[in-house]
Chain A
């Protein structure tokens, strides 16, 4: 090798170092609705995952840099599939934290199974999200996990609460025809009937509908005397239902019970004072009541201080999901396949307490809490 050659080579080597990727990057996809009606909830999850990633980077837990890359599924199943295809085509993405809606998580999981890449949902509660992996036509490994409890747990709990705690015997059932809403309502019905209660009416409404007065008038006038409504759906419809119920004079002791999809500050924007007294179940324990989440809450409040950047109901699940991924990485999950393997063996103690997954990928940590809306303070008080 001549001197000139050596010089050129040395120069090239310097060039390639300075121009090429400075450091290795490993990405975690955050696939949630970032715009639209559920955008506020998704943005909260994005902030929670970013916080977890920033903490891990600051602590230099990994030889490479971690990046949380947000993807907007707009709470739309079609968009969720598009986003999932984008995600699997980026080899630097090692795992997905998402999706928020069950309707999105179910079809998206099918795409992730093809890659395969692990998906941990911080919010999707329909049993199908993980149960579909047991069906015979499931192609690919079981890669769907979730850190939230399923609707069967939540719906059953609400039914027992209505029957035993509130002493209700006849309830009207409403749902928004989505996998989430209908799933909750069906589980409520199953348990409520088993306990000996009766379902007076059962109706589906469309997401986006505004006028429920005719339907509510029917429920109010039902000859067999309904004592309350159980609604499976999200906060916009729940808020409109509450507002129109109160206008029609359907007040205490007539109760309104719904699930975690309605338990968000948005409910107060839609319903105003009419939200007062509504019962809303949530999966897990409200983050405010979790001693293990104190550090997380403080860190979150310090990192995110802007307008509308307050803690959202599912943020601690998003944070926990990210940290479960990091724990798996520390145990040697350096690629997508190993990640799925490691996640199955998860035994992680964090914000939510102990998380382990059953053979479907559902968390074994099953707690549901009932809360009651207080419109004056825009808060939800846990009932013990």
Chain B
């Protein structure tokens, strides 16, 4: 194996990692504020990709190969996914928030099943082919030819992560989000409208999931009602690995998981079938050493 191959493997790991990271951010943002795991997030991701497909089918001229059309496609899919996530929170989680920690969790699993079956029954039981974004072929970087599509995916994911960073660190709403994550009750006493902050958090997390759904469709070329399950589980794992509730942790965890998978299937003989075993063994080992994840902080039990 020579340089070109290694470089391609790095790009493979980065693309996979970027998609995992984007999804992991959705889990971690919600957990940071409500300390609940939004199991419906994988379905929000799936709905994002179906929204993009719908747009591409019903307004094909609008969603051309132009960068503007592509950006519009992302914007609409993200808005749809974000909105779905907000509605789920409003109707399935908020009424249960004060009852017990377990109730919203079960409700989340219920929402996940409902959404998945709605698409299964009303849209399609089969894989639908996802339109290609007009980037194909290879580009040459450092003498290595790299898949152009992967670079677009990587660029879009990194761009969104940068936007999120700006939003959380440099806007008033971001500050409010951090305050709520820090201490929910006190933030409320300081005049922060907790429900609004929660709704916005769900919107942002859902939008990132929706974007990941579009990237997923582009990357694999076809989408299906159950596509969210596997990447959702992996991304949730990534979020835990990085320290759930921690934004940088989610990104780090996503990339580590992506690289672990590439390492397993690309470098270990007959490693493809051991990929998940290897990735999850590493996860267990990390959690044994650092139970709160790589970047997670040890927090005292909230009372």
Contacts and interface: CB of A to CB of B under 8 A. Distances in A.
A249 B145 contact: yes
A179 to B, nearest CB: 15
A210 B230 contact: yes
Interface string A154-187: 0000000000000000000000010000000000
Interface string B126-138: 1111001000101
Contact of B8 (A209, A239, A248): A248
B126 A40 contact: yes
Contact of B272 (A40, A204, A221): A204
Contacts of A221: 1-2, 4-5, 8
Contact of A269 (B127, B264, B276): B127
Given A266-B126, A266-B127, A272-B132, A214 B273 contact: no
A270 B12 contact: no
A176 B136 CA distance: 27
Interface in B1-38: 1-2, 4-5, 8-9, 12-13, 15-16
Nearest to B267: A218
A211 B261 contact: yes
Nearest to B126: A40
Contacts, number: 107
Contacts of B267: 218
Given A217-B8, A243-B220, A247-B150, A39 B126 contact: yes
A217 B16 CA distance: 14
A228 B15 CA distance: 25
Contacts of A203: 265, 270-273
Nearest to B131: A272
Identify whether the interface residues of B are mostly helix, strand, loop, or mixed.
Answer: helix
Contact of A270 (B1, B221, B230): B221
Contact of B273 (A40, A177, A220): A177
Given A215-B265, A217-B266, A218-B266, A247 B273 contact: no
B222 interface: yes
Contacts of B273: 177, 203-206
B125 interface: yes
Nearest to A217: B8
Interface in B175-220: 219-220
Contact of A36 (B2, B4, B12, B125): B125
Interface centre among A217, A249, A268, by most chain B C-beta atoms within 10 angstroms, is: A217
Contact of B222 (A177, A211, A239): A239
Nearest to A210: B220
Contacts of A269: 126-129, 222
A270 B222 CA distance: 5
Nearest to B6: A221
Nearest to A222: B1
A204 B8 contact: no
Given A243-B220, A248-B8, A269-B128, A214 B13 contact: yes
A271 interface: yes
A63 interface: no
Contacts of A220: 5, 8
A212 B15 CA distance: 12
Contacts of A212: 265, 272
B262 interface: yes
Interface centre among A202, A203, A215, A271, by most chain B C-beta atoms within 10 angstroms, is: A215
A236 interface: yes
A306 interface: no
Interface centre among B2, B126, B145, B270, by most chain A C-beta atoms within 10 angstroms, is: B126
Interface string B114-158: 000000000001111100100010100000010101100000000
Contact of B221 (A39, A209, A272): A272
A4 B266 CA distance: 90
A139 interface: no
20 contacts: A37-B127, A203-B265, A206-B276, A211-B261, A212-B272, A213-B262, A214-B263, A214-B266, A217-B9, A217-B266, A218-B1, A222-B1, A240-B221, A248-B147, A249-B138, A268-B129, A269-B129, A270-B129, A270-B221, A272-B221
Given A214-B264, A217-B12, 4 more contacts: A214-B13, A221-B2, A239-B221, A270-B221
Closest 10 CB pairs of A and B: A221-B5, A214-B266, A214-B262, A204-B273, A214-B265, A213-B12, A247-B147, A203-B272, A221-B1, A215-B265
